[in-house]
């Protein structure tokens, strides 16, 4: 809703929302709230449909590699019948700073799954990386969530990474019930939702913003351009400037003791 021109202050600030009186703001907020409520109801309806999806049986006896060596995939369930896994992408042979910035960020926010456990749902992270490399990375990051290597396994447990998946166990039988990727995994990153409620949003090039708004955060895009990639600030240099170059690290790594400016990402091969 466009505010009533008569209600707009003559000291409005360029590149920011118009300044209005409280009643005009309340009216515009109420109109937006109706749309937000409709979105919530639609989201609930989609969740109900998701619960009614059919499921497909998978081989729960396949072995994954963890800190205790090879164990059946069913081990990831623990004492629960439901399991969520995040499939973390991996660059073979790359140093810690060269691993996937999006997955590093997602795993950072999934580290404490205590509330999932309280609801009878187990959680684990799997990756196609070799366990000898993965173990060092997990130790460096200080992750507490259980990690396993699914190297060499076929989809859906192995194969392409970058997915969020749900499984159900019935006795010795295991079923895949849901899988999503791309922006579907945004649900594990609450900071994105918080950025969405700020005036300038995520500052990424794909977002629709009013004319005159600040440019998206530049992460290799042309100066002043609107081509900053999605997740443009998941990787920064030592000064916190978004950068995907050889001196950058995934943002959560800068909280790790001893993290310094990198010299190479070591990412010559494809991500698994």
Residue 35 placed within a domain = no
pLDDT of residue 1: 45
Residue 195 placed within a domain = no
Q: Are 89 and 127 in contact (CB under 8 A)?
A: yes
pTM of the model: 0.89
pLDDT of residue 20: 94
Name the strand (E) or helix (H) holding 181.
strand 173-181
Residue 107 placed within a domain = yes
Q: Is 126 helix (H, G, I), strand (E, B) or coil?
A: strand
d(CA 107, CA 185): 11
Residue 136 placed within a domain = yes
Name the strand (E) or helix (H) holding 135.
helix 131-141
Q: Which domain holds residue 115?
A: 56-182
CATH of the domain at 171: 3.40.30.10
d(CA 7, CA 12): 11
Find the largest Cα–Cα distance for the chain.
70
Please state, in angstroms and as integers, the Cα–Cα distance from residue 80 to each residue in 66, 72, 83, 178, following that order. Answer: 19, 15, 7, 17
Tokens of 3: 């505010």
Number of domains, the chain: 1
Place of tokens 């351009």: 225
pLDDT of residue 221: 42
Alpha-carbon 195 to chain mean position: 14
Which residue, among 25, 238, 266, has the nearest Cα to 133 in the 3D structure?
266
Tokens of 55: 């499921």
Residue 158 placed within a domain = yes
Residue 36 placed within a domain = no
pLDDT of residue 208: 84
Q: Are 76 and 116 in contact (CB under 8 A)?
A: no
Using only C-alpha atoms, what is the Rg of the chain?
Answer: 22
Residue 14 placed within a domain = no
d(CA 150, CA 64): 5
Return the HEC string of 23-59: HHHHHHHHHHHHHHHHHHHHHHHHHHHHHCCCCEEEC
* Mean pLDDT, contiguous 10-residue spans, the chain (272 residues): 55 89 97 98 98 98 97 97 97 95 92 93 97 97 96 97 97 97 91 92 82 70 42 81 87 91 84 81
pLDDT of residue 212: 85
pLDDT of residue 159: 96
Residue 237 placed within a domain = no
DSSP 222: P
């Amino acid at each position: 809703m466009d505010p009533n021109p008569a209600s707009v202050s003559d000291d409005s600030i360029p590149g920011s929302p118009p300044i209005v009186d409280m009643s005009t703001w309340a009216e515009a907020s109420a109109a937006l709230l109706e749309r937000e409520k409709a979105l919530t109801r639609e989201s609930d309806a989609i969740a109900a449909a998701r619960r009614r999806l059919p499921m497909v049986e998978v081989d729960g006896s396949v072995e994954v590699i963890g800190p205790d060596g090879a164990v059946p995939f069913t081990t990831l369930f623990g004492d629960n019948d439901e399991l969520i896994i995040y499939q973390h992408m991996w660059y073979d042979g790359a140093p810690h700073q060269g691993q996937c910035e999006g997955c590093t960020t997602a795993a950072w926010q999934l580290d404490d799954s205590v509330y999932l456990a309280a609801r009878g749902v187990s959680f684990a992270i799997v990756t196609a990386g070799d366990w000898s490399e993965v173990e060092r990375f997990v130790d460096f990051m200080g992750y507490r969530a259980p990690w396993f290597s699914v190297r060499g396994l076929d989809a859906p447990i192995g194969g392409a990474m970058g997915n969020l998946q749900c499984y159900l166990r019935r006795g010795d039988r295991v079923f895949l019930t849901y899988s999503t990727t791309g922006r579907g995994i945004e649900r594990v990153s609450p900071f994105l939702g918080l950025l969405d409620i700020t005036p300038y949003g995520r500052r990424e090039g794909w977002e629709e913003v009013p004319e005159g708004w600040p440019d998206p955060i530049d992460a290799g895009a042309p100066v002043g351009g609107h081509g900053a990639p999605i997740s443009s600030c998941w990787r920064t240099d030592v000064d916190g400037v978004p950068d995907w170059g050889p001196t950058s690290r995934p943002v959560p790594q800068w909280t790790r003791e001893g993290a310094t400016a990198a010299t190479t990402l070591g990412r010559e091969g494809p991500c698994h």
